[in-house]
Amino acid sequence: MIHFGKHVNNKFFFVSLLNIPFVMKKYLYVLAVILLSNCAGYHTAPKFYDRYKESKKVEAYQLPKFKSSVMDSLSPYTRNLFLDVTDLRYLKLIEPDRNQNELLKIEIRGLFKRRFKDLQRVVTEDSLKIVSMKVVDNIATDFLAYLNFGPENKILYLSGDMDPRAVREFFENNEHIKIMQYMHPDNFLDFDSNLKAIEEKNKQ
């Protein structure tokens, strides 16, 4: 095996040439994540959802049809807001590998760079919460919430022609948290297409 080293403080630190490809791949992957996070056309919430939704480690639901008991528990403001929502997507990703989870968090944070305005951003040692909306011509076109706690990552995305005041109310009343908690097949109607997608994923 061929080695090369550098003398530092009377010690030699050797790096195997055979390990270089692995090291380079790791750094190239990090670089790719950062570059893609800055690419407006590639790095959007819907495209992020589409990239991850097929993974078995991921819970993914799009435009779920909630049972009436769920809808009745929401505030009138939220029910009215949903009339203006054209797309709703939810992802829950569990990444136990710490390094991979950090890369995932970098990728997700990149979703908030394009004209999003923060409603809340809270960072602690082991958790992260970002809630933002995008407003164009006095219309809220996008709402994006990200909750991270350890290896668990949750994302809620809404798009449509929404009233910014209604979106802010949705956030301030923690209805976005409630919606995330309701993201479970038990809360969907029997004919919800998300249930069929889960069935197909389980067959793989």
Query: Do 18 and 82 share a structural domain?
Result: no
Query: Do 76 and 111 share a structural domain?
Result: yes
pLDDT digits (tens, 9 = 90+) for 59-84: 999 999 999 999 999 999 999 999 99
Query: Do 51 and 23 share a structural domain?
Result: no
DSSP code for 9: T
Q: Which helix (H) or strand (E) holds 14?
A: strand 11-16
Does position 98 have pLDDT exceeding 50, yes or no? yes
Residue located via tokens 């998300």? 194
With cut-offs at 50, 70 and 90, classify the pLDDT of residue 175: very high
Does position 13 have pLDDT exceeding 80, yes or no? no
Query: Do 86 and 13 share a structural domain?
Result: no
Most confident of 12-26, 30-44, 138-152: 138-152
Query: Do 72 and 1 share a structural domain?
Result: no
Q: Determine contact, residues 157/49, Cβ cutoff 8 Å.
A: yes
Q: pTM, whole model, 2 decimals? A: 0.81
Containing structural domain, residue 151: 44-203
Q: Which are the contacts of 3, defined by CB distance < 8 A and separation ≥ 6?
A: 14, 15, 16, 17
Query: Do 48 and 32 share a structural domain?
Result: no
Query: Do 7 and 71 share a structural domain?
Result: no
- List the single range of 23-27, 56-60, 125-129, 156-160 with lowest mean pLDDT: 23-27
Query: Do 198 and 149 share a structural domain?
Result: yes
pLDDT of residue 4: 37
Radius of gyration (C-alpha) of the chain in whole angstroms: 21
Query: Do 108 and 9 share a structural domain?
Result: no
Query: Do 28 and 68 share a structural domain?
Result: no
The encoded tokens of residue 74 equal 């929401």
Query: Do 96 and 21 share a structural domain?
Result: no
Mean pLDDT along residues 145-149: 97
Does position 130 have pLDDT exceeding 90, yes or no? yes
- Dump strand ranges (E) for 85-199: 85-94, 117-123, 127-136, 139-149, 152-162
Task: Name the domain count of the chain.
Answer: 2
Mean pLDDT along residues 33-42: 50
pLDDT of residue 202: 79
pLDDT of residue 9: 46
Most confident of 13-17, 52-56, 96-100: 96-100
Instruction: Spell out a b/e string for 132-169, using b for 16 or more CB atoms within 10 Å of the CB, else e.
Output: bbbeeeeebbbbbbbbbeeeebbbbbbbbebbbebbeb
Query: Do 178 and 111 share a structural domain?
Result: yes
With cut-offs at 50, 70 and 90, classify the pLDDT of residue 112: very high
pLDDT of residue 31: 53
What torsion do the CA atoms of 136, 129, 151, 181 make, to the nearest 10 degrees? Answer: -80
